[in-house]
Amino acid sequence: DGTLSSSLPIAGNIHTIANADLATVTITNVLPNADTNTDPIDGVRVWEGTFTVGQRSVEFTRFALRQINSIDSTDVSNFKLLIDGVEVATVDSLDSNGYITFSFNKTMQTGARNVKVLADITGGSSRAIQMSLRNRADVEVKDAEYNVTVLPTVTGSATANKITVNSGVMSVIVNNAALPVTVANNSSGVLLGQWKVKATGEPIKVETLKAGFTYNSKDGSNANAELRNGKIMINGIQAGSTANLKENGTEYTVNYTFQPGIETIVEVYADIYDNDGSGEIKASDIIKTKLIQGVDNATRQVSMGTMDVPGATSEASTIVVGSGSATLTKATNYGDQNTVIPQTAYKIGSWNLTAGTAEDINVSGLSFVVTQVVATFTHENMTDMYATYQVGNGPVVTTSVTPTPTATNTYSISFVLPKGQTAAINLYSNLLSTATGSVKTTLTVTGTGAQSGTAVSINDEGVGATDGQTIAVAAGSFTVSKDASSPVASLVTEGSTVKVASYKLEALNDSYTVSRLKFNMTGTSALKTVQLKEGSNVIGSQAGAPSVTFNFATPITIPANQSKVIDVEVVLGTIGAGTGDTGADISAELVEVLRRDNATGTAEVVAVTPGAGEIQYAYKGIPTISLETLPSTVLTAGTKTLQKFQVSASTNPISWAQIIFSITRSSGPTISDCNGSACTGIKLYREGGIEVPGTMIASGDLTSAAANTITVKFIPNNPEQISTDSPRKYELVATNIGGIVTSGQYINTSIPRPTTSFAASAKAFAHGTNATTLAYAVNGDTNKVAAGDVRKQATVKIAAARSGVTLTVTDSGYALGSVVGANDSDVDLALTQGVARASGLIWSDISKPGSSISTTDWATDYLVRNLPTSTQTLSGSGS
């Protein structure tokens, strides 16, 4: 037993009761507020009310109504709840207690909200539907902030007035889409009209339907018609007896009860045959069928009243009487042919047979007449003739073979060509070597209409004899040419797979096979593999060499009058010391073909001269120049960015040691401190505002107001390194723009590409002959040090090329990046030229050991991607 240690009384926690104003919901204006009637239709409004939300929004999650009047629960369905016009919930039908209960989650904001319930009424003739909100608990709403249930207030009645369902109605809608456009004359059991019939509100029994038609004799030879074997079909089953269909109407006893809400198909059929004994229906006559308005021919099964079905005459679309017909044409995708001989199973004719729209065609015969066009080519120069036919995308069927063709060759066949479809018909034969000149064949087709049984008219003229293609004897030829898809010259990188040429092999009049191709290759130091491709398939691969030969176990086949394109691709090896040469000039040229023609089977080695593909220049890495958006394009006084660009590297890092900018300006603006070699008013910055140390040299004067176009060459003190994963962005900045900068004034800047041909990799700049440690960026004469040349390395003295005399500079020494003055003592020193002083970009693929401006791995701007760049413009504004 335990001992209770406590003192009484025991006090609990204090709970403070707070007051809160909850949201309110008031229900008013319940509709309909007067008794109404409705036809049995979809989407009848059965209850509507205004929910006024006060204080704050509420969460509306449940709403229930009860049907309290006489309509049967099976006659009303598909209830929909809409709030402010938006459907939020549905209920299929009333439950066993006559309720519909909507469950949902809808936030209702403060203010008046429209709540409406719609339902589909499919029956219940003479009965009423009446929906009632029986209890305020049937509306479940919660204060959205406090999550407390709010009991709504109802002002006025929450029960809608009753809606009485009118007596049953019947809709009869013609369905012309199901009808044929043309029907064959004399055909039997033809669909002439179709209607969709639907009872609504209650079952409706139709005792009779009266069908007729409007008839138009195209040539006026037949005043009236009466169609044989007319009948009514309901949902595919005949209703009533068969009787001739008269123009003014034939009444058919159907005794069919149409159930409410169920769409039923009613159709009229008859033979296209005039059975009145006083004329006949002909091709091009027109028939328009109709269901004629009934007179008390139907009875409502609930309300028991009679009605007219249809309530008004309903006409179907017109149908044109035709006859079994077809169009026979020479195939447009197989033209006249020139061919060498002999040939085996050669296609000597191709046709298309297209059935008309009136009826299917039973094709029973093909007849081919062989006619000489130019002597001497006749059926006597042929053996083993046969035909094929193919309906649509069906199987190809081959006829029997005629070993010794005659002038007329007939084949008995049997196939059905559905109306509107096409059959491809082809004729084949062996062609003997004795033929000369040309020949053609003419096709005639026989058949009957599948429904009418009458002979088919081909091309509106009976059997429709139609000429096929002319086949002429000609010599075969084989040509090789460089294809238009061959690549243009470009810069490529080590390790990549590059297409270097594409060649078209073309056969004329005969088919050829190619068993061997031989190529001469250049730039082989950079080649790892040479491969041939036909489309995406590799058909041969060889190690790179000056001469590469491909022998094909499976020859390349070029069908007569067709061509194939063979691509030459190379897989590049490594570029650099001991491997591939930097700037290796890679090309391929097809020089020899081993071919065999089909006609004689003779193999022949042929020398060809289609030309080499354009050269692809291989490097360890290559640069790409891309323009960036200027910070501002408005020309104003002060510091402005003239050009913004990015230098990126592909495959491996690169470096650059010179870049040239072309600047064009109008007569107004000036750039301070930029005149010739004294150009300190333009600077180059890396992204982030870091100045690139170096020298700017202008080819003209930008300090005075005068329109001109000049170049500004920038030489960094040290080559700029660009890695593959970190492109570098630069801005060319004028530190002080002055002069006139108003509207109409401008400064245009771009990076040019003046180099128009390839130059082998060399040193970056001109060098003293006997001083490999000294380099100049040449501004003037390329053969000697001249005033304005930029010093790339710091050296106090240099030995002359021939005399060995020591030439001492005027100053104690040239600083890196300084400019040679007119009176400096090493002016006129002989130089050995480097890459190109005028190159828009001097760059290196860093492929030489210890790569520097003195190593021979520097290239020009030739073929550098995106050079020349587009112009970037600063435009003045205002006045």
CA distances from 99 to 33, 38, 87, 106, 221 (A): 20, 21, 19, 21, 69
Architecture of 24-165 per CATH? Answer: Sandwich (2.60)
Q: What value does the mean pLDDT take over residues 480-500? A: 97
Q: What value does the mean pLDDT take over residues 240-257? A: 97
Decide if pLDDT at 795 tops 60: no
138-142, 447-451, 630-634, 779-783: least confidently modelled range: 779-783
What is the band of 232 on the pLDDT scale with cuts at 50, 70, 90? very high
The pLDDT score that the predictor gives to residue 277 is 87
Query: pLDDT (tens digit, 9 = 90+) per residue, 551-568?
Result: 999 999 999 999 999 999
∠ Cα 59 61 63 (to 5°): 125
* Whole-number percent of the chain with pLDDT over 90: 77
- Domain 24-165 matches domain 325-464 at the CATH topology level: yes
The 3-class secondary structure across 215-233, one letter per residue, is EECCCCCCCCCEEEEEEEE
CATH number for the domain running over 621-764+836-879: 2.60.40
413-422, 632-641, 808-817: least confidently modelled range: 808-817
Cross-strand pairs, 647: 625, 728
Decide if pLDDT at 800 tops 50: no
500-509, 511-520, 832-841: least confidently modelled range: 832-841
Query: pLDDT (tens digit, 9 = 90+) per residue, 583-600?
Result: 999 999 999 999 999 888
Decide if pLDDT at 625 tops 90: yes
Decide if pLDDT at 30 tops 90: yes
63-77, 375-389, 787-801: least confidently modelled range: 787-801
What is the band of 759 on the pLDDT scale with cuts at 50, 70, 90? confident
Q: Are 77 and 129 in contact (CB under 8 A)?
A: no
Residue 254 tokens, joined = 């159907």
Interatomic CA distance for residues 276 and 67, integer angstroms: 60
Give the phi and the psi of residue 524 in degrees, each rounded to 5. Answer: -70, -20
Interatomic CA distance for residues 117 and 104, integer angstroms: 14
What is the band of 768 on the pLDDT scale with cuts at 50, 70, 90? low
3 state SS of 811: coil
Bridge-based pairing of strands 471-473 and 457-458 is unpaired
Decide if pLDDT at 463 tops 80: no
Q: Are 61 and 141 in contact (CB under 8 A)?
A: yes
Query: pLDDT (tens digit, 9 = 90+) per residue, 156-177?
Result: 999 999 999 988 889 999 999 9
What is the band of 201 on the pLDDT scale with cuts at 50, 70, 90? confident
Buried b (16+ CB within 10 A) or exposed e, 845-871: bbbbeebbbbbbbbbbbbbbeebebee
Q: Are 875 and 634 in contact (CB under 8 A)?
A: yes
List Cβ neighbours of 578 (8 Å cut-off, separation of 6 or more): none
Give the phi and the psi of residue 170 in degrees, each rounded to 5. Answer: -130, 130
CA distances from 184 to 283, 328, 466 (A): 8, 19, 24
What is the band of 806 on the pLDDT scale with cuts at 50, 70, 90? very low
3 state SS of 136: helix
39-43, 268-272, 432-436, 723-727: least confidently modelled range: 39-43
CATH number for the domain running over 477-619: 2.60.40
Which helix or strand (DSSP H or E) is residue 411 part of?
strand 408-417
CA distances from 200 to 76, 96, 170, 194 (A): 12, 24, 6, 20
Bridge-based pairing of strands 58-67 and 36-38 is unpaired
Decide if pLDDT at 812 tops 70: no
Q: What value does the mean pLDDT take over residues 228-247? A: 97
Domain positions in the chain: 24-165, 169-322, 325-464, 477-619, 621-764+836-879, 765-833
35-39, 154-158, 322-326, 366-370: least confidently modelled range: 322-326
Interatomic CA distance for residues 496 and 545, integer angstroms: 17
Taking all residues of the chain, what is their mean pLDDT, rounded to a whole number?
91
Q: Which CATH number fits domain 325-464: 3.40.50, 3.90.320, 2.40.160, 2.60.40?
A: 2.60.40
Q: What value does the mean pLDDT take over residues 71-95? A: 96
3 state SS of 201: coil
The pLDDT score that the predictor gives to residue 782 is 61
What is the band of 19 on the pLDDT scale with cuts at 50, 70, 90? low
Residue 743 tokens, joined = 């509207």
CATH T-level assignment (fold) for domain 169-322: Immunoglobulin-like (2.60.40)
The pLDDT score that the predictor gives to residue 12 is 72
Query: pLDDT (tens digit, 9 = 90+) per residue, 648-666?
Result: 999 999 999 999 999 999 9
Interatomic CA distance for residues 364 and 370, integer angstroms: 20
The pLDDT score that the predictor gives to residue 122 is 84
Q: Please, which contacts does 149-155 make with residues 24 or more away whose CB atoms are closer than 8 Å?
A: 150/22, 150/23, 150/24, 150/25, 150/58, 152/25, 152/26, 152/27, 152/51, 153/24, 153/25, 153/26, 153/27, 154/26, 154/27, 154/28, 155/26, 155/27, 155/28
Q: What value does the mean pLDDT take over residues 91-101? A: 97
Higher pLDDT, 431 or 324: 431
9-23, 304-318, 731-745, 839-853: least confidently modelled range: 9-23
DSSP state of 762: B
